[in-house]
Structure 1
Amino acid sequence: MKKPDPAAIIRAEDISGRAMYRLQYMWINCVIRQYNLAWEIAEYLKQHPQATVVELGAGLSCLRRQMGNETNPWYCLDMENVIALREKHIPKGEHEQNVVCDLNDFSWFDQIDFDPAKGVVFTAGGLFYYFETEQVRCLLCAMAERFPGGMITFDAVNSLGLKGVNAEVRLAGNNSTKSFFSLERPKEELENWSPSIINVMEKDYADGYLKGGYRKTPITRLFNWIMRTVHMSFMLHVEFQK
């Protein structure tokens, strides 16, 4: 199975000035995704206040700080070059650990302090696009067995949305990175992967969590309507059987 190229995904180039990123729709998506992930974490912590939080493919995410969470054990997982950037630019909070790993090598499971009685919640924001479907299947099935009672939340697209993701990457000037993973019927497909994968729930990416708080441009409203109507992008909540 082909592994994503971290050097191609993480680039030290400022592309914020390019025309496509002047559109509200393009930059607001990243903000919305952080809000969606934070919402799912917060809901899980209401029922599991001492749970561990794990960001898969954390990159330079500051989600812990944005949530003001200094109480729960928090792990940020990524590849070596990315963790080096985190260590340089993002000071670790109390109970926070950065972990260098290849997510396809499940030995990282043993580095997570997991207590089934306390629970664990995983996020994978903007990550699984770069994995092939079989890689995602193997990873989620193994996680469901190793972390019973846990939950993962992530964003995904259907096959049409996948074409859009690849087009956006090319417009950003990156011709070497390609996305692979998509889902057409998330609940049916994911729950068929393993009896330990349960309660798959889907919400609209743009409006499923964030109901207001910002004024949408006409282009943003149009794009959101298209994405919702043709089921191009969505957020997923996936639980692991106890």
Structure 2
Amino acid sequence: MSLNLQSVQGTMLIPLWGRATASEKNPEILNDKEAIEIIKGFDFDFTEIAKTFGEYGGISYIVRARKIDDTIRAFIEKHPRATIVNIGAGLDTSFSRVDNGTLNWYNLDLPDAIAFRQSLIPDSPRNISIAKSFFDVSWFDDVIFNEGDGILFISAGVFYYFQENQLREMFQEMALRFPGGELFFDAESKLMLKTSNRTVEKTGNKGAKMYFYVNNPKVLECWSTRIKVLSSEPYFKGMPTNKLWESGTQLMMKVVDLFKLMKFVHLRFEKIC
């Protein structure tokens, strides 16, 4: 199965590389055994990606995965039979790390991305793929869940690629369809988004421009009375650090958090009586 590397879908190889290489060196942050195994058997030259993203890039990917894992674990501790929907799943391997034996998981992505994913990560009875666009609301019907068991939507490095008006409309639709559900995702500031676009272009991918940014998460509450911001946390906050990391990596992490260049946003779709 081939993948168009000049596309948004093509970017799924970057976090896979990041999680595999950085988790081998930093298992105290993330131990992504599945990503490591996939990379070992994957016939692709990651030299350009490694050169472009470097140590800091790899660490940013394992931190993102760790923050999402922690959020899922906290959610399923309260809702052991919860439904998790991974928006823009790509080659994400979170299920293998957080599965409690009772949760139900859906991987949502475009048809070619899902076909590529399934060639490397097969579906299982509680880990099912949905080959549709995020904006095709028919996927709502593909998600079988019990409202009382809870539903959590996660999205890693995906919303950047969409226009704000597109996301506003989808968040409104989700709030109506999944009252009580929660959404956890990462976002960048407007300034950081410009830097990220230049970085991705350096890998040779000219077809994955990013548009969406979040400077003040509270603005999202203006999108709908049903949207409540539960938290917004600096990207690297609370993560262990290593004195052996390059000085540039440590400095960048401090700058990112100090100026709120990257963050995690946690929303809830409120029930309206």
Calculate the TM-score normalised by the size of structure 2: 0.80
User: Which residue of structure 2 aligns with residue 194 of structure 1?
Assistant: 224
C-alpha displacement at 1:207, in angstroms? 2.5
Change (3 A) 1:213 1:121: farther
Change (3 A) 1:165 1:211: same
- 1:1-242 maps to which residues of 2 (within 5 A)? 8-11=7-10, 14-17=45-48, 18-21=50-53, 23-186=54-217, 188-208=218-238, 210-212=239-241, 215-242=244-271
C-alpha displacement at 1:87, in angstroms? 1.5
C-alpha displacement at 1:7, in angstroms? 5.4
Change (3 A) 1:239 1:217: same
Q: Deviations over 1:131-176 (max 9, x none)?
A: 0011111111111111111111100011001111101111222223
Give the distance between the partners of 1:94 and 1:71, measured in 2 at CA: 11
Unaligned segments of structure 2, at least 5 residues: 14-43
SS where residue 117 of structure 1 aligns?
A: helix
C-alpha displacement at 1:119, in angstroms? 0.9
Give the distance between the partners of 2:109 and 2:241, measured in 1 at CA: 32
C-alpha displacement at 1:78, in angstroms? 0.5
C-alpha displacement at 1:68, in angstroms? 3.8
Give the distance between the partners of 1:114 and 1:214, measured in 2 at CA: 45
Change (3 A) 1:55 1:214: farther
Q: Is the 8 A contact 1:54 1:75 kept in 2?
A: yes
C-alpha displacement at 1:85, in angstroms? 1.2
Q: Is the 8 A contact 1:124 1:155 kept in 2?
A: yes
Q: Is the 8 A contact 2:6 2:206 kept in 1?
A: no
Give the distance between the partners of 1:75 and 1:24, measured in 2 at CA: 31
Give the distance between the partners of 2:148 and 2:98, measured in 1 at CA: 23
Runs of 4+ in 1 over 4 A off after TM superposition: 212-215
SS where residue 232 of structure 2 aligns?
A: strand
C-alpha displacement at 1:64, in angstroms? 0.2
Give the distance between the partners of 1:233 and 1:215, measured in 2 at CA: 23
Higher RCO structure (Cα 8 Å, ≥6 apart): 1
**Structure 2 counterpart of 1:114, which letter?**
F
C-alpha displacement at 1:214, in angstroms? 8.0
Q: Deviations over 1:80-118 (max 9, x none)?
A: 111111221112233111111111111111111122111
Give the distance between the partners of 1:47 and 1:6, measured in 2 at CA: 40
Give the distance between the partners of 2:156 and 2:47, measured in 1 at CA: 20
SS where residue 60 of structure 2 aligns?
A: helix
SS where residue 93 of structure 1 aligns?
A: coil
Moved more, 122-131 or 69-78: 69-78
Give the distance between the partners of 2:148 and 2:174, measured in 1 at CA: 16
Q: Is the 8 A contact 1:197 1:238 kept in 2?
A: yes
Change (3 A) 1:225 1:147: same
Calculate the TM-score normalised by the size of structure 1: 0.90
User: Which residue of structure 1 aligns with residue 31 of structure 2?
Assistant: none
Q: Is the 8 A contact 1:162 1:179 kept in 2?
A: yes
